[in-house]
Amino acid sequence: MTKYRVVFLDIDGTILRPDDSIEDTTKKAIRQLKDQDIEVILATGRPLHEITDLGEELNIHSYIAYNGAYAIYKGREIFKENMQIEDVNSFLHIAETHKHDLVIYTHNKNYFLDQETKRVKDFQKAFHLRKNDQYHQSIQKDVLGITIITSDEEGDIPYQSIEGIHYAKVNVPGFTTCYDVIRDHVNKGVAVKAVIEHLGFQTEQAIAFGDGMNDKEMLSNVGEGFAMGSGNPELFSYAKHVTTGVDDSGIFNGLKSLGLVK
């Protein structure tokens, strides 16, 4: 029996190719993992309410979403931590000052300051965001995550004054000047640890694949962390392995190197 018990998979740039398709080898790898009773969990910056269709397609029913702010295992909530209201207000103020757009995620919807700007419409289309609404103050206490939408190469700089938070460029062509807001104490790595503990597994029994800097904590907190060869090169130092790209059977080849698929 394999010593590995759980595999965490990022979505954009890891499972999904730039054209939003999924390689047959990726689907094959997931099936083979499940045939060995290895848990497969999607771990993404996307909101939960926008990824369950993909989960159904891949027969995956456990998720880490909002860059680690929420984790659910087969319908059971494992981890959840909303953002502090004062931090949300700081993002709103800075975004208004610098004329940036924000995506503000809650458990049920994606909220925007202005849904009519071209860059917001492009973002919604690229990430297939369907459950969208106009931001209003009453949802402040329910915020699970934020993405900054900007055209500025260093658009994260104005937000550096907010303590306990760092930023990861969105690793999707056309949106690399957008930034995921990552809390130092709430990220994919923290959620992965919570799920591993809930399942009664050891860190060494966990595998993870990712391609962006929002994956660095996740890859650092498993036994076998794989950075996609097509991913952000800055991520490679946080991974135990670098596999091939998302267009070149990266997930399959990584798992094959561990003897888990064939």
CATH code, domain carrying 68: 3.40.50.1000
Residue pair 94/158 in contact (Cβ under 8 Å)? The answer is yes
Task: Please state, in angstroms and rounded to a whole number, the distance separating the CA atoms of residues 228 and 245.
Answer: 5
pLDDT over 90 at 172, yes or no? no
Domain end among 183, 210, 235? 183
Nearest CA to 210 among 188, 182, 194?
188
Asked if residue 134 and residue 100 are part of one domain, the reply reads: yes
Asked if 47 and 37 count as a contact pair (C-beta separation under 8 A), the reply is no
Give the structural domain span for 99.
Answer: 85-183
> What is the per-residue pLDDT across 9-53, written as a single tens digit (0 to 9) for each?
999 999 999 999 999 999 999 999 999 999 999 999 999 999 999
Report if pTM > 0.85.
yes
97 and 74, same structural domain? no
Share of the chain above pLDDT 70, in %: 99
1 assigned to some structural domain: no
Could you tell me which residues are beta bridge partners of residue 241?
A: 226
CA angle at residue 211 from 48 to 50, to 5 degrees?
Answer: 15
Return the DSSP state at 186.
B
pLDDT at 1 over 70: no
Identify the burial level of 199 via C-beta atoms within 10 angstroms of its C-beta, where 0-12 means exposed, 13-18 middle and 19 or more buried.
middle
Mean pLDDT score of the chain, rounded to an integer? 95
* Residue 2 pLDDT > 80: no
Q: What confidence tens digit (pLDDT) does each residue in 60-99 have? A: 999 999 999 999 999 999 999 999 999 999 999 999 999 9
